[in-house]
């Protein structure tokens, strides 16, 4: 299978006064096309920095990040923005929906930035809303939706530009256990239909749904020992 993500000896250092903080240390990681992979670890382990790197929101101090075979670690802000728009779909713990926009209009936001025509954008957004089970909620505002429904909008929006991968940050973190299980099932369904997903989480129940688990501790990354999905 083709590697979508390949991190090679990647490190990120921050200066805080006279102190150097090693947020990531010599990280190696691969994610193949069609895989569902978890990055797990407690608060302060480096998950947020890792998320920023994988999402092309920051650059490493040393090492390289190959996304779809191309090194993006040295790109300028404009090029990184283009990469994020075309290759990465983001799913946020806090949904990050625009309150004044309906379900369909929120899903259309990435398409607007990519310059997709209004007609195609509307058609694609309606189709994605139906795919995630919101066909009857197309014109509802976020305030009129439950937490699970808001996250479904976020997932639909993440797929709008047909990205290479979906990057999920604690996708069930703001949801009760039943709703969280429903969202996990939706993510698994997307994976079963070929989506590549990287899920950053501290929740073992989420991680064990993935094919591979990477564990973070003090900025280092190690590959775990399998998952429930592999065994199941």
Query: 145: domain CATH number?
Result: 3.40.50.300
- Name the domain count of the chain: 1
Contacts of 62 (CB under 8 A, 6+ apart): 9, 10, 11
Query: Does the residue 1 lie in any domain?
Result: no
Give the residue with greater pLDDT, 225 vs 21. 21
Query: Does the residue 10 lie in any domain?
Result: no
d(CA 43, CA 49): 11
Is pLDDT above 60 for 229? no
Query: Does the residue 42 lie in any domain?
Result: yes
Query: Does the residue 22 lie in any domain?
Result: no
Average pLDDT over residues 127-154: 97
Phi then psi dihedrals of residue 6, to 5 deg: -145, 110
For 120, what's the count of Cα atoms within 13 Å in the CB-facing half-sphere?
Answer: 9
Secondary structure tally for the chain: helices H, strands E: 8, 10
Per-residue pLDDT reduced to its tens digit, 63-102: 999 999 999 998 999 999 999 999 999 999 999 999 999 9
Query: Does the residue 189 lie in any domain?
Result: yes
Strands (E), the chain: 3-16, 19-32, 36-40, 62-67, 70-71, 88-91, 165-169, 197-201, 212-217, 220-223
d(CA 128, CA 139): 14
Give the residue with greater pLDDT, 103 vs 207. 103
Domain that holds residue 97: 35-59+83-231
Quick one: which of 3, 7, 162 has its CA closest to 68?
3
Per-residue pLDDT reduced to its tens digit, 103-121: 999 999 999 988 999 999 9
Average pLDDT over residues 23-37: 96
Phi then psi dihedrals of residue 153, to 5 deg: -60, -45
Query: Does the residue 100 lie in any domain?
Result: yes
Is pLDDT above 60 for 13? yes
Is pLDDT above 50 for 230? no
Query: Does the residue 227 lie in any domain?
Result: yes
Query: Does the residue 73 lie in any domain?
Result: no
165-169 and 62-67 strand pairing? unpaired
pTM: 0.92
Q: What percent of the chain clears pLDDT 90, i.e. is strictly above it? A: 86
Is pLDDT above 90 for 226? no
Predicted local distance difference test score (pLDDT) of residue 67: 97
């Amino acid at each position: 299978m083709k590697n979508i993500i390949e991190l090679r000896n990647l490190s990120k250092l921050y200066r805080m006064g006279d102190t150097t903080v090693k947020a990531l240390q010599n990280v190696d990681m691969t994610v193949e096309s069609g895989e569902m992979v978890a990055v797990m670890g407690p608060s302060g382990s480096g998950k947020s920095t890792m998320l920023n790197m994988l999402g092309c929101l920051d650059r490493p101090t040393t090492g390289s990040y190959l996304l779809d075979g191309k090194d993006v670690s040295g790109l300028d802000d404009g090029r990184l923005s283009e990469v994020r728009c075309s290759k990465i779909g983001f799913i946020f713990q806090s949904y990050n929906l625009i309150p004044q926009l309906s379900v369909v209009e929120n899903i259309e936001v990435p398409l607007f930035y990519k310059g997709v025509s209004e007609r195609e954008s509307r058609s694609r957004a309606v189709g994605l809303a139906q795919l995630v089970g919101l066909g009857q909620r197309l014109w509802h505002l976020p305030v009129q939706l439950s937490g699970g429904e808001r996250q479904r909008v976020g997932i639909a929006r993440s797929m709008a530009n047909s990205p290479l991968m979906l990057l999920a940050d604690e996708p069930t973190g703001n949801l009760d256990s039943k709703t969280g299980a429903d969202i996990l099932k939706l993510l698994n369904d997307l994976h079963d239909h070929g989506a590549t997903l990287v899920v950053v989480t501290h929740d073992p129940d989420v991680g064990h749904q993935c094919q591979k688990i990477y564990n973070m501790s003090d900025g280092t990354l190690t590959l775990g020992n399998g998952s429930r999905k592999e065994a199941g």
